[in-house]
Amino acid sequence: MTDLLQALWPLFALIVGGYGLRRWEFPGDAFWPAAERLNYFLLFPALLFHSLATAPLDNPALSRLALAVLVGLGLGWASLLVGRRLRGWPAGRFGALAQGLLRFNTYLGLAAVGSLFGQKGLALAALMLALMVPTVNLMSVWALTAERGMGLRALLLPVVKNPLIVACLAGALVNLAGLPLPGGSERLLSLLAAASLPLGLLCVGAALRPRELGGEWAALAWNCGLRLLAMPVLAWGVALALDLPALERTVLVLFFALPTAPTAYVLTRQLGGDGSLMAGLITLQTLLGAVSLPLVLILAG
């Protein structure tokens, strides 16, 4: 337990630090959007590409891990569709609630996996992200636009243009083709990757909006409970049913226990969703995740 807390508290300290820096207006309001774009389009894709290009793909449990990811997301999506039918949520609200339940803070997830399990854990996490990122993005866009009947092209375009998905696919192709990373390119990618997670966690903190927590306590409470507690329990059950090894099982549970992604707010605003509810979910889940994530990992062994 002590080792776990020592691995996780610096990550949440960076999130708190990012919030404090934004409140103190340092180094300036223009810095944070630029830092997010730099990370999203360059540094974080470099980390994913490097992790997948060098990952060992001969792990016999990978197919079961992939199935566990899809089953877990599928069950969560099915429960959301049932809730939408029973409660009659409009697309803007349904989209925010769906992202609160299904999306995950990738920066925090990879930083936690790297701190706990090193490069071997990062390789597994990158392989999971190659499946989870496009799947969750498709679900999120559909949820926010269901009432408008968007065509297939409009639905797929945000997914195809996502730099994280492109990096995952490129890294997997390089790995499968047996291509080496020539010269000092692997060192270059390692340096870019090393800058990604600390900057990403600072940006997560800078994006928190505590003022958005009022007025929606019922929706915030049940959505946070499902995301931070029910989803990891679901992942744990699926992992046991598929007989995943300990490391694969723990990484799966960790990703299903993460708070939702700060980028969900941007997508919600772009597609006309309930931005206030989405900002509240991001903020409250991130705050509660500092307690729930260590607890879930301890209970998962």
The CATH number assigned to the domain holding 230 equals: 1.20.1530.20
Does the structure show a pLDDT above 80 at 146?
A: no
Digit-coded pLDDT (tens) for 188-226: 999 999 999 999 999 999 999 898 887 788 999 999 999
Q: Name the residue range of residue 96's domain.
A: 2-299
CB distance 262 to 207 below 8 Å: yes
pTM, 2 dp: 0.92
DSSP-derived 3-state class of residue 44: helix
Mean pLDDT of the chain: 91
- Give the total number of structural domains in the chain: 1
Helices within 146-245 (DSSP H only)? 152-160, 163-176, 185-206, 217-225, 231-241
Distance CA 57, CA 62 (A): 8
By percentage, how much of the chain surpasses pLDDT 90? 73
Does the structure show a pLDDT above 80 at 154?
A: no
The tokens for 203 are: 């940006």
> What average pLDDT does the segment 68-72 reach?
96
Distance CA 262, CA 283 (A): 8
Q: What pLDDT shows up at residue 147?
A: 65
Digit-coded pLDDT (tens) for 95-139: 999 999 999 999 999 999 999 999 899 999 999 998 999 999 889
Q: What pLDDT shows up at residue 279?
A: 94
Digit-coded pLDDT (tens) for 33-68: 999 999 999 999 999 999 999 888 888 889 999 999
Residue 286's Cβ-side half-sphere holds a number of Cα atoms within 13 Å equal to: 34
State the maximum Cα–Cα separation within the chain, in Å, rounded to a whole number: 58
Digit-coded pLDDT (tens) for 240-273: 999 999 999 999 999 999 999 998 998 898 888 9
